[in-house]
Amino acid sequence: MNVIIAIGTKNPAKVNAVKAAFASNLPGEFTSINVPSNVSAQPLTDNETMAGAINRAKNALIEANGQIGVGLEGGVVKQEHGYFLCNWGAIVDEHMQPIVAGGSRIVIPEEVGALVFSGLELGDVMDRYVGKHNVRQNEGAIGIFTNGCVDRTEMFTQLSKLLVGQYLYKTSKAY
């Protein structure tokens, strides 16, 4: 019997990342659903970004009637050395507390970070910054600022593998 894996977004970069991570580790039947993160549209702290991922995982599990819920959330944080991309993921099922993991971080240009911290969403800023449409559903800011070496799907695939790996470890142990 296949596990029903509910993904808390319809964003293709995130959906494809979850499918890639689960395919060889925990095959299942996937359903993607847009659910609220219950945080601001553009998270600006690690805690808020992590909470958004957890909320998406829980909301996906409930709304899609899945067995596993997965939530991925991207944010921007300001640190001593500048503005950084941050991303968090969570996996939940009906039997345990959320499992969380953080992903890649890179510095982004000061002008991009400042616009995000002024109240704009990173996706909108990136579209204007590079003169493209829908960067967030394609290569993402990570793809732009790594010159295509790592795109958004690859970044979220790594994060999703951290989640599924922890899930498999924890479900194989008696806690």
SS3 117: helix
Instruction: Determine the pLDDT at residue 18.
Output: 98
- In tens digits, the chain (175 residues) has pLDDT values of 689 999 999 999 999 999 999 998 888 999 999 999 999 999 999 999 999 999 999 999 999 999 999 999 999 999 999 999 999 999 999 887 899 999 999 999 999 999 999 999 999 999 999 999 999 989 999 999 999 999 999 999 999 999 999 999 998 875 5
Instruction: Determine the pLDDT at residue 1.
Output: 60
Instruction: Determine the pLDDT at residue 56.
Output: 98
Instruction: Determine the pLDDT at residue 174.
Output: 55
Q: Are 158 and 173 in contact (CB under 8 A)?
A: no
Helices 12-23 and 152-172 cross at an angle (nearest 10°) of 40
Place of tokens 């793809």: 143
Amino acid in the structure at residue 163: L
For each of the domains in the chain, give its residue range(s) and CATH number, in order of start: 3-105+151-172 (3.90.950.10)
Instruction: Determine the pLDDT at residue 55.
Output: 98
Q: What is the DSSP string of 19-86?
A: HHHHHTTS-EEEEE-----SS-SS--SHHHHHHHHHHHHHHHHHHTT-SEEEEEEEEEEEETTEEEEE
